[in-house]
Amino acid sequence: MRKQIFKFLLLNLFFFLFINTVLKSSDILQVYDLNKKNLKENSILETEQYLYTVSVSKKNKILDVSIKKNQLKAEVKLLDRIKNKIDWPSDFPSYLKEAIWNYYKSNKKFNIEGIKLIDKGEIGDKYFVVVGIKKTNIDKFIINYNVIKKVLK
């Protein structure tokens, strides 16, 4: 009898965790469906809880290559949000910010968790991929200009 109760409780726990995970992942999809008309290729779509980016390229003969290539490009765009939050000196020209940022990010590994493939498809001879992530997973990366300056030395 105890084994049956234990199995029942274990099964209920598994079912609860599974349903909870499915509902949370469907939330990011619902928000995307409501806002996808505002998605632009060269910017990050920001909602109350999520960030979305898109990448578009010509179709490859191998579909998986198009998906992975565009997914990687879309994920890299999320780094722009981190770059835009840096407290750069006000007199820095944009080309210098870009050069310093590119050097910094090439020497640093960002472990961004929770990126989800939201949408993918074809439009004419182009292929697109949309990725999404919770804002908190990106906004936890706070980089100060003084930290970058130390890396440069």
Letter for the amino acid at 21? T
Neighbours of 65 (CB within 10 A): 13
Contact between 82 and 141 under an 8 Å Cβ cutoff? The reply is yes
Amino acid at the residue 77: K
By the 8 A CB rule, do 62 and 119 touch?
A: no
Top mean pLDDT of 44-48, 56-60, 107-111, 123-127 is at 44-48
Residue whose C-alpha is closest to residue 141's, from 83, 64, 56, 58: 83
Per-residue model confidence (pLDDT) at position 66: 81
Q: How confident is the model at residue 51 (pLDDT cuts 50, 70, 90)?
A: very high
Of the two residues 2 and 140, the one the predictor is more confident about is: 140
Question: pLDDT exceeding 70 applies to what percent of the chain?
Answer: 84
Give the pLDDT confidence score for residue 44 in this predicted structure: 92
DSSP 95-111: HHHHHHHHHHHHSS---
> What is the token pair recorded at 93?
């020209």
Q: What is the pLDDT of residue 108?
A: 86
Would you state the pLDDT for residue 7? 53
Instruction: Using pLDDT thresholds of 50, 70 and 90, give the confidence band for residue 123.
Output: confident
Listed as own residue / partner, the contacts of 108-111 with beta carbons closer than 8 Å and 24 or more positions apart are 108/151, 110/79, 110/82, 110/141
Please give the mean pLDDT across all residues of the chain: 84
- Name the pLDDT band for 153 (thresholds 50, 70, 90): confident
Which residue has tokens 């870009």?
98
36-61 mean pLDDT: 91
DSSP letter for 38, please.
Answer: G
Residue 3 has a pLDDT of 60
Model pLDDT, residue 72: 92
Q: Which of 75, 81, 83 is nearest to 102 (CA)?
A: 83
Q: Is 122 left (phi over 0), alpha (psi -120 to 50) or beta?
A: beta
